[in-house]
């Protein structure tokens, strides 16, 4: 297996099956640090640089919390408008990371342009972690989700997935690539204008992903072991920032996971994931049902970022 030390985490296309399981093994070792709210000194000589060109609550703060848990330091920006990349100069990715690499030992980047973290990785001498790039990918989120499935269900192979939302989303791309390494049939449900692109479908076929598309969650929920939901009412991820207008539409029933639907149609032991933030696709009265696992998923988001930081910085093999 390739070492993770010094490696960029840009895409789950690059991940092999044994690498997924290796990451999950390391995550299980790291988990007690977060669970018991400890701070250790594993990365005490390392600094994380956060380069967030788009808003984030979870991805940026989970990486920062992870670095603090491991005794490391954090610097960076969460509002590119206050940097030279966001003002008159429109400083390039290259010029920006040629600075950032001197300010820390690993960079986590979120950007509205697909491929921006890959461009950063071309020029940086330190590892780049993709925190979400336009419609591209969100690898650390899907690693978190798969780890959550493993912890909650005890296995990944053999589970049937239902993925609901906008199939142009970066999480859906990372999910598709990840599932190519497991025995997991997946059913996608999305509005027609947000369906799988022809290019992505061709890739899924090339990677032998067992997938189908249906119109309504009711057509697939009864078989699902893992229900992963993303919004269909959402901002444009190719913009640096998309303010909410006065009116936003409601999520149609086809793409909503309600308490009634779960009680009447879902498997008793299915689990429900959402990377958050949400609109109304999972109403809040679902939170206290036995199916919801999104708060565990959020906790695992810190564990997974601790794991990846420790591995790319060579503190865990």
Minimal distance, residue 62 CB to ligand CP, in Å: 8
Minimal distance, residue 56 CB to ligand CP, in Å: 3
How far from the centroid of its chain's Cα atoms is residue 136's Cα? 11
Minimal distance, residue 11 CB to ligand CP, in Å: 16
Contact 164, 230 (CB under 8 A): yes
> CA 274, CA 278: separation in Å to the nearest integer?
8
Residue 178: half-sphere exposure toward Cβ, Cα within 13 Å: 29
Q: Which is nearer to ligand CP, 141 or 180 (CB)?
A: 141
Q: Which is nearer to ligand CP, 151 or 170 (CB)?
A: 170
Q: Which is nearer to ligand CP, 58 or 151 (CB)?
A: 58
Q: How far is CA 45 from CA 105, 129, 236, in A?
A: 9, 19, 38
Q: Which is nearer to ligand CP, 47 or 56 (CB)?
A: 56
Q: Which is nearer to ligand CP, 32 or 277 (CB)?
A: 277
Q: Which is nearer to ligand CP, 46 or 170 (CB)?
A: 170
Query: What is the token pair recorded at 142?
Result: 């899907």
Instruction: Find the Cα–Cα–Cα–Cα dihedral 78, 79, 83, 89, rounded to 10°.
Output: 130
Report which of 216, 140, 133, 202 is spatially closest to residue 175, judged by C-alpha positions: 140
Contact 182, 208 (CB under 8 A): no
Instruction: Specify the pairing of strand 73-77 against strand 106-111.
Output: unpaired
* Direct distance between the N- and C-terminal alpha carbons of the chain, in angstroms, rounded to an integer: 11
Beta bridge partners, 52, equal 110
Q: Which is nearer to ligand CP, 180 or 275 (CB)?
A: 275
Q: Which is nearer to ligand CP, 61 or 315 (CB)?
A: 61
Site residues for ligand CP per CB under 6 A: 56-59, 132, 141, 275-277
Minimal distance, residue 131 CB to ligand CP, in Å: 7
Spell out the residues 6+ positions from residue 265 whose beta carbon is closer than 8 angstroms to its own. Answer: 218, 221, 222
Minimal distance, residue 74 CB to ligand CP, in Å: 16
Query: What is the token pair recorded at 57?
Result: 């609550």
Minimal distance, residue 157 CB to ligand CP, in Å: 25
Query: What is the token pair recorded at 62?
Result: 């989970």
Beta bridge partners, 176, equal none
Q: Which is nearer to ligand CP, 93 or 304 (CB)?
A: 304
Minimal distance, residue 171 CB to ligand CP, in Å: 8
Minimal distance, residue 276 CB to ligand CP, in Å: 5
Spell out the residues 6+ positions from residue 261 whose beta carbon is closer than 8 angstroms to its own. Answer: 217, 218, 221
Contact 254, 217 (CB under 8 A): yes
Minimal distance, residue 28 CB to ligand CP, in Å: 22
């Amino acid at each position: 297996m390739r070492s993770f030390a010094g490696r960029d985490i840009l895409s789950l296309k690059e991940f092999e099956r044994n690498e997924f399981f290796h990451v999950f093994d390391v995550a299980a070792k790291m988990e007690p640090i977060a669970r018991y709210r400890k701070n250790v000194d594993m990365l005490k000589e390392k600094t994380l640089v956060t380069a967030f060109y788009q808003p984030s609550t979870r991805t940026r703060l989970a990486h920062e919390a992870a670095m603090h848990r491991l005794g490391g330091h954090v610097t960076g920006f969460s509002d590119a408008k206050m940097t030279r990349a966001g003002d008159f100069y429109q400083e390039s990715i290259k010029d920006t990371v040629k600075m950032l690499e001197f300010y820390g030992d690993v960079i986590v980047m979120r950007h509205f342009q697909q491929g921006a973290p890959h461009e950063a990785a071309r020029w940086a001498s330190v590892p780049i972690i993709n925190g979400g790039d336009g419609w591209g990918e969100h690898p650390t989120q899907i690693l978190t989700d798969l780890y959550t499935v493993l912890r909650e269900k005890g296995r990944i192979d053999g589970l049937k997935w239902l993925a609901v939302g906008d199939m142009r989303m970066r999480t859906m791309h990372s999910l598709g690539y990840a599932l190519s390494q497991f025995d997991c049939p997946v059913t996608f449900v999305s509005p027609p204008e947000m369906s799988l692109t022809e290019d992505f479908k061709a890739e899924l076929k090339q990677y032998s992903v067992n997938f189908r598309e249906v119109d309504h969650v009711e057509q697939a929920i009864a078989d699902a072991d893992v229900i992963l939901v993303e919004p269909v009412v959402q901002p444009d991820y190719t913009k640096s920032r998309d303010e909410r207008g006065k009116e936003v539409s409601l999520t149609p029933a086809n793409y909503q996971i309600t308490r009634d639907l779960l009680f009447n149609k879902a498997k008793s032991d299915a689990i429900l994931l959402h990377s958050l933030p949400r609109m109304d696709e999972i109403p809040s009265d679902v939170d206290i049902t036995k199916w919801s696992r999104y708060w565990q998923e959020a906790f695992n988001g810190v564990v997974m970022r601790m794991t990846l930081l420790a591995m790319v910085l060579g503190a865990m093999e």
